[in-house]
Structure 1
Amino acid sequence: MTTHAASWLPLSTGERSVAIEVLVHGPLSRTELARRLCLSAGSLTRLTKPLIESGLLIEVAEAGAGLGSGSGSAEVRQGRPSQPLDVVAESRSFVGFKITADMVYGVVTTLRSDIVARHDRPLESREPDRVADLLAEMTKELTHAHQGLAGIGIGVGGLVENRTVVRESPFLLWRDVPLAELVRERTGLPVVVENDVAALVEAETWFGAGRGLDRFVVLTIGAGIGYGLVQGGRRVPNAEEDRGFGRHWILAPDGPLTPDGERGSAVSLLTIGNIRYQINAATGRDHSYEEILALAAAGTPGPARVIGEAARALGILVAHIANFAMPQKILLAGEGVGLMDVAGDTVEETVRTHRHPLAPRVALETKVSDFHDWARGAAVLAIQVLVLGPAQT
């Protein structure tokens, strides 16, 4: 299966800036585009003309026709109609994969990262060639009904170098696996590989909760703890991505000692596996995370205590991040955020306790993420490669 993807690389820097602004924020009027990019009307016309002629941008019906009043509406109608510009989101498709220890979750997205198909397969072997074979098979299955396939993004829990080689993945027991090359050989498509948290941060920065923000943080809780910082609208690369964030961040010195993480660390207190471990150690029974949350909500003493400690730990962690990074928003995501439904008040109260009394309220947004959201994040990596080129991502 070999497919060749068109790219945006022939575009000039100015043309690409216009196209990206419309992709991420559109549809946008020419007036709004000029304002956002600090361009004169003439410069914008010069930049948009080839984009429209090539079909990359199209003029769409003006949303909310009739909005505005007085001289503003009259001025619009005196000259050429100011039709908003947009991209054709369905013109290209992208595949995103999230690889876990025992499953591969796959999605197909549009150019704007909207998921249009899902397909999951069990990971029966962690041998790199077998995994690459599986990803190629899934790509073929996912895209038989979708045209214009332009790239593949893959998210893994681990340390990734140059968005091509998985240097270390504790979940897959991998070291120095050239995953991008293995999948590209089997599909003929551009392939980008990245740490899964980094991929999620990119997706939320371009198309999600962080869109348009200068300073933004993503904090994930689930099997582990992930952290991503956006500064100046761009993700700050982190040399310690998935090398143990939170294992040594002590939030409660007298807190629990668990198999993973130091005593009282963020990992010991907040990850799903360690919460389940605490309940099992106390009761001798194995409960799912959802069962523990339900028992805590019902006031069952053991689960209520563990979840209460987790909520206070999360509040301290959020407060510390807000105090030092000063983000405009913190997005709390991952499979463990059901904690907020049961103990969100405790989290909020703890955040306030660990902030200056005059500090502004932390804008904390919660997003329950499943593995398809992580796969979507990987697809956004492929979108970025198409739009920006490999050297700029």
Structure 2
Amino acid sequence: MRAASWAPLSAAERAVAIEVLTHGPVSRSEIARKLNLSAGSLTRLTKPLIESGLLVEDAVVTAPSAPPAPPPPAPSSRQGRPSQPLDVVADSRFFAGFKITEDTVYGVVTDLRSTVVAAREAPLRTREPSAVAALLHALASDFAAGFPRLAGIGVGLGGHVVGPERMVTSPYLGWEAVPFPDLLEGRTELPVVVENDVAALVESEAWFGAGRGLERFAVLTIGAGIGYGLVIGGRLVRSADDGHGIGRRWIINPNGPLTPDGDRGSAVALLTIPSIRYQVAAATGRPHTYEEILELAAKADPLAARVIDEAGRALGTVVAQIANFAMPQKILLAGEGVGLVEVAGEAIGEAIAANRHPLAEPVALETKISDFNDWARGAAVLAIQTFVLGRPKTAP
């Protein structure tokens, strides 16, 4: 049986639902203030949300040792409901999120507020779409056995989704226009949303993480590739270019390194884990892990320090360019590669300063080392959004 949904909601109902979901428990007066609503309008909007089970009114609990309550005040002429907090029941529904890499599937279960309550991973032995759908179905079935109120599934991967048919194209998986959401829905009988993994992570951070409550918020991810997402007006900016990647031709230093992936001196050539490993291996004749390279650079090994210093200056340049053109209130650095920040912090700061106006505001920069479960959690947030708001519109 297909899971129940609270959608469709009106724009005003949606705004109230998101406010309570991401900030609750929250008082009615605070909601009315933030959304510029009258008390009467808020009462009208919250009534169907409470009746549908999306929102609940928090009971005011008096401690046993509390003194007797004073007599009630005289009736007021103010209209509307009392300022009683509104909240959601976080464990009323659960959501599965999956991150698909080239060789592994990472899965998590979250509650309605995106708190991870279970996690699993499984090797990806084949990238054939129906086999991948079967693997995710098996994982989702295991999750549903422990969390019977599983309400939806989100999937994040390196690629993009096109058109109302929700066709998935992923160079990493060798997919071209694959109807993967339909393949998985047919097996699980649950709503499925598939999205570019960076977009899923940005949505997760905008609703429940570093960007919560911000009007302008940017995310830059470094790891196997370069990812970028921008939130304006509290919503992720969408375009037909989503999922194609921006780093291969984002030239930071035209005299920079030439690597197998990306143009000479591009963000990809300078910043990604495979490119950094390639540069060190080409110079030393033997492979190193990314963590080994960072450790060598921290110990002032000349070769590793040069590569990491150059990567740090590239990262600082990219951060400054994002700050200059997008003017976000905060930039979040995330991904498996952000250990670079700890080792190359000085170079990053110098590059930011060199590429910003001397009187410009300091860049609000936050760093989060993300493992693959964080990416899977982002996919689960897509399922939460779909459950609350209905299916998102895909890029043209």
TM category (shorter chain) comes to over 0.9
- Asked if residue 23 in structure 1 is aligned to residue 24 in structure 2, the reply is no
In structure 1, what residue type is equivalent to 2:282? A
Matches of residues 238-257 of structure 1 in structure 2 within 5 Å?
Answer: 238-257=239-258
- Asked if residue 45 in structure 1 is aligned to residue 46 in structure 2, the reply is no
Cα RMSD, aligned residues only: 2.3
Partner of 2:180: 179
Rounded Cα–Cα distance in structure 2 between residues aligned with 1:124 and 1:78: 71
Rounded Cα–Cα distance in structure 2 between residues aligned with 1:139 and 1:356: 50
Deviations 1:51-97 (A, max 9, x none): 334432222256999xxxxxxxx999777863311000110111111
Matches of residues 17-166 of structure 1 in structure 2 within 5 Å?
Answer: 17-60=15-58, 82-162=83-163, 165-166=166-167
In structure 2, what residue type is equivalent to 1:50? P
Compared CA separation, residues 313 and 391, structure 1 to 2 (3 A):
closer
For the 8 Å contact 2:9–2:389, the answer to whether it is kept is no
Q: Unaligned 5+ residue runs, structure 2?
A: 64-69, 76-80
Deviations 1:20-65 (A, max 9, x none): 2101111110110111121111222222233334432222256999
Give the C-alpha shift of residue 252 in structure 1. Answer: 1.2
Rounded Cα–Cα distance in structure 2 between residues aligned with 1:290 and 1:207: 29
In structure 1, what residue type is equivalent to 2:15? S
Give the C-alpha shift of residue 173 in structure 1. Answer: 1.0
In structure 2, what residue type is equivalent to 1:138? L
Rounded Cα–Cα distance in structure 2 between residues aligned with 1:78 and 1:127: 70
Compared CA separation, residues 368 and 166, structure 1 to 2 (3 A):
farther
Deviations 1:187-209 (A, max 9, x none): 00111111111111111111111
Partner of 2:371: 370
Secondary structure, counterpart of 1:144 in structure 2: helix
Secondary structure, counterpart of 2:317 in structure 1: helix
Rounded Cα–Cα distance in structure 1 between residues aligned with 2:14 and 2:321: 37
For the 8 Å contact 1:218–1:227, the answer to whether it is kept is yes
Secondary structure, counterpart of 2:29 in structure 1: helix
Identify which of 4, 7, 14 aligns with 1:6.
4
Partner of 1:68: none
For the 8 Å contact 1:163–1:194, the answer to whether it is kept is no
Give the C-alpha shift of residue 346 in structure 1. Answer: 1.6
Rounded Cα–Cα distance in structure 2 between residues aligned with 1:64 and 1:275: 59
In structure 2, what residue type is equivalent to 1:40? S
Deviations 1:271-308 (A, max 9, x none): 00000000000001111000000000011111000000
For the 8 Å contact 2:6–2:54, the answer to whether it is kept is no
Partner of 2:384: 383
Matches of residues 354-369 of structure 1 in structure 2 within 5 Å?
Answer: 354-369=355-370
For the 8 Å contact 2:6–2:52, the answer to whether it is kept is no
Rounded Cα–Cα distance in structure 1 between residues aligned with 2:245 and 2:178: 20
Compared CA separation, residues 78 and 166, structure 1 to 2 (3 A):
farther
Q: TM-score, normalised by structure 2?
A: 0.92
For the 8 Å contact 1:98–1:106, the answer to whether it is kept is yes
Q: Unaligned 5+ residue runs, structure 1?
A: 66-73
Matches of residues 224-303 of structure 1 in structure 2 within 5 Å?
Answer: 224-303=225-304
Rounded Cα–Cα distance in structure 2 between residues aligned with 1:75 and 1:367: 51
Tell me which moved more, 120-129 or 37-46.
37-46
Rounded Cα–Cα distance in structure 2 between residues aligned with 1:64 and 1:196: 45
Tell me which moved more, 335-344 or 154-163.
154-163
Tell me which moved more, 271-280 or 344-353.
344-353
Secondary structure, counterpart of 1:390 in structure 2: coil
Rounded Cα–Cα distance in structure 2 between residues aligned with 1:164 and 1:302: 49
Tell me which moved more, 216-225 or 18-27.
18-27
